[in-house]
Amino acid sequence: MAKPNILLRAKRKKALESFQAKRYDEALALFQGICQADRMDADARMSCGAIAGLRGDHAQAEAYCRQALAIDPKMPGAHLNLGIALRNQGKFAEACQSF
């Protein structure tokens, strides 16, 4: 039986491939599975936020990015994606703090 971290690495690779191929539904499902398996995976949460933003669900993008930043407060990509999500919701003052 494969170790869980090996399975998560394989799932992450497939999720990234799906994301790059713009198969966002598939990528989101895979990243969400990673989030469930590893509650401390900030990268997977940031990726979910990026996908939510690309789909126009800026409130959900904000939520995922805030989850990522709660795990890793210095994550540049999560700050950027949070700022974009906030800007797209008209929360300009908050967005400026994220950039």
What residue ranges define each of the domains in the chain, with the CATH number in brackets? Answer: 4-98 (1.25.40.10)
pLDDT of residue 99: 84
Which pTM does this prediction carry? 0.91
pLDDT of residue 88: 98
The DSSP code sequence of 40-74 is: T-HHHHHHHHHHHHHTT-HHHHHHHHHHHHHH-TT
Is residue 1 over pLDDT 60?
Answer: no
Distance CA 64, CA 39 (A): 12
- Give tens-digit pLDDT for 20-77: 999 999 999 999 999 999 999 999 999 999 999 999 999 999 999 999 999 999 999 9
